[in-house]
Amino acid sequence: MNDTKEMEERINKIIKYLNTGIHEREEVIAVSLLAALSGQNIFLLGPPGTAKSLISRRLSQAFETKSYFEYLMQRFSTPEEVFGPVSISALKKDNYIRKTDGFLPKSDFAFLDEIWKSSPAILNTLLTIINEKIFRNGQEIEAVPLKVLVSASNEIPPENQGLEALYDRFLVRMYVLPMSEKNSFESLLQSSPTKDQIDLPDGTLITHEEWERWQLEIEKIKLSSETLNIIHDIRLTFFEKGDDLGIYVSDRRWQRASMLLKSAAFFCGRKETNLVDTLLLRHCLWTTKDNRPEVVKIVEDAVRNCGFETGFNSHSIDEEKDDLENEIQKELYHSEDVYETTKLSDDDNNEYFKCSRYYNYNYNKKNIKFYIHADKMKQEGDFYPVDEQGNQLERIICNFGKQGVCNIQIFNGHPSISPSKHPPNDNSHLWENVTQFVPKILFRKGNKKSEVNHRLVDSLQEDVVQLEEKFKNIIDDIDKKLTKFKRELDTPFVMEKTRDIALESVQKQLTDVKSRCKDCERLKSLIGRT
């Protein structure tokens, strides 16, 4: 087994053991471990009783630790309780020196609960320790071995208290909420109290030498072009919405966040970051509970918009499918309603609707036969029909009005009276609104044609089968690429559900192609329908 694969399995094993007996904290623990592996400090925001201190204690046990320090801050906390008591013997010699053994300045790991309740004297000294990894003890400067500081609170630091600089030093900010899943909660109720102590298998514990060596190797990891594009996209959005969001991300914070992304790639055996690594920025850029949801959305949208490319050009094959469907409709189906019409003679190219109507003439019913121009059906305005010889019948006025139904008026005056001299509007009593004529439809639009060449039908069926095969090949190709992408994106530091954000573009494309492939069955039924 190569060193890279061995390290990946080792990290996964550590995460598994850290989660023992803890429910719904997989992401918090995994990201916190990554932060510790890359030397970044952690802030856990959440109400009491959500396992924040337990997570910190567990986390420290993954490392070869000489000293772990934990303290619950309060308004009356004193520097002595965090940095160690003043040495009385040294004070007698006019030396103000603290006895730091067993306190934060000599600890590899530290957890400060309710950090913002502490006094300015403690927090200011803490800022120096975090910044420079040194502790000024009297006239001496002590190196601080602190790998990671985990802090926790149920609130963010209050404004206008000068705490922004210290808050900014906590790169990873995890929102720890009470359990929400019913099964997890019931499992918690049934189980014994979770122990702080875990026993990692031999060879799993991370040594100090390994940790220091990894810091140097992490620096060699490259940020991929996709990662840089996403970061630029996020920064641009922050620039546009920053004032409304109340968000500011310092250059230092961006630089440290990039180290977190590089660490994620390194511990997954990669030399370059990928799309999923960039999702870790969700835990680095928010500042308050109010702007957290929007910041998370901005990061996820940036990753979503970047997405993966499969190389599939949907436009060309969609055109092929549309062309084939158009051909099927053209060759096999009526593109418009087909009406029962007739011709007056073999030499006449016009189509007519044959019509006959009874009307009152000198108190008698009289039948008249006439022919209505079919091409007038989609026109407006009055027109005259014709007789069998094609002569206009001025005694009859027709009007379709683009409605598909012909209104007919017949002049019932004496033959010696000219209808043209007595329009319907002037002498309405001479005109009879006889009836309406509705042309008979033989085949409605969309009906299949009755006589179709069988060779044409077979050819169209074969074209659909070939098109369907193309879609199936594309689906197979995208499926293979999706499997490859999932393998490339596999990481213990981002949950699988969140990782899928980077694959949404591929999943959508796969769904679209499957839908197109399924639509080939509809095309087959169009050809075969009777």
Asked whether the beta carbons of 112 and 71 are under 8 A apart, the reply is: yes
What's at 394, amino acid-wise?
E
Element holding 8 (H helix, E strand): helix 3-18
pLDDT for 359-409, tens place per residue? 776 667 888 899 999 999 888 889 999 999 999 998 899 999 877 899 998
Task: Give the separation between CA 115 and CA 123, rounded to whole angstroms.
Answer: 8
- Show the beta-strand stretches assigned E in 95-254: 109-113, 134-137, 140-143, 148-153, 172-175
Residues of the chain with pLDDT under 50: 1, 530
Q: Is the dihedral of CA 18, 23, 25, 26 positive or negative?
A: positive
Residue 2: what pLDDT?
Answer: 65
The pair phi, psi for residue 451, each rounded to 5°, is -120, 110
User: What are the distances in angstroms from CA 490 to CA 85, 309, 485, 494?
Assistant: 48, 18, 9, 8
Task: Give the separation between CA 44 and CA 31, rounded to whole angstroms.
Answer: 11
404: left (phi over 0), alpha (psi -120 to 50) or beta: left
Element holding 53 (H helix, E strand): helix 52-60
The secondary structure of 57-71 as a DSSP string is HHHHTTB--S-EEEE
- Show the beta-strand stretches assigned E in 198-337: none
User: What are the distances in angstroms from CA 447 to CA 440, 443, 523?
Assistant: 15, 6, 15
Residue 101: what pLDDT?
Answer: 92
Residue 64 makes CB contacts below 8 A (sequence gap 6+) with 205, 206, 207, 208
């001496």: which residue's tokens? 140
Rounded to two decimals, the pTM is 0.76
Task: Give the separation between CA 481 and CA 324, rounded to whole angstroms.
Answer: 29
Topology at the third CATH level for domain 3-218: Rossmann fold (3.40.50)
Pairing of strands 431-437, 406-411: antiparallel
191: left (phi over 0), alpha (psi -120 to 50) or beta: beta
Asked whether the beta carbons of 136 and 126 are under 8 A apart, the reply is: no
Residue 365: what pLDDT?
Answer: 80
Task: Give the separation between CA 154 and CA 341, rounded to whole angstroms.
Answer: 84
pLDDT for 114-167, tens place per residue? 999 998 889 989 998 998 899 999 888 999 999 999 999 999 998 888 889 999
Residue 110 makes CB contacts below 8 A (sequence gap 6+) with 68, 69, 70, 71, 104, 146, 149, 150
The edge-to-edge listing of strands for the beta sheet with 406-411 is 396-399, 406-411, 431-437
H-helix segments, 274-363: 275-278, 292-306, 314-332
Task: Give the separation between CA 108 and CA 39, rounded to whole angstroms.
Answer: 11
Q: Cβ of 159: how many Cβ atoms within 10 Å?
A: 9
Long-range pairs of 236-243 with CB within 8 A, sequence gap ≥ 24: 237/298, 237/302, 238/285, 238/298, 241/294, 241/298
User: What are the distances in angstroms from CA 517 to CA 271, 327, 362, 385, 462?
Assistant: 39, 18, 70, 52, 15
- CA-angle at 476, arms to 471 and 480, nearest 5°: 145
Residue 362: what pLDDT?
Answer: 63
């997570």: which residue's tokens? 55
What are the structural domain ranges in the chain? 3-218, 225-306, 339-443, 454-528
Task: Give the separation between CA 318 and CA 213, rounded to whole angstroms.
Answer: 54
Beta bridge partners of 441: 339
Task: Give the separation between CA 208 and CA 65, rounded to whole angstroms.
Answer: 8
Q: Residue 64's closest CA among 197, 198, 199, 211?
A: 211
User: What are the distances in angstroms from CA 182 to CA 24, 185, 515?
Assistant: 11, 5, 36
Asked whether the beta carbons of 83 and 103 are under 8 A apart, the reply is: yes
- From the DSSP assignment, how many helices (H) and strands (E) are in the chain? 17, 14
H-helix segments, 19-51: 26-37
H-helix segments, 65-207: 79-83, 88-92, 120-132, 164-168, 182-190
| DSSP conformational letter for 405 | S
Residue 530: what pLDDT?
Answer: 40
- CA-derived radius of gyration, the chain: 41
Task: Give the separation between CA 515 and CA 509, rounded to whole angstroms.
Answer: 10
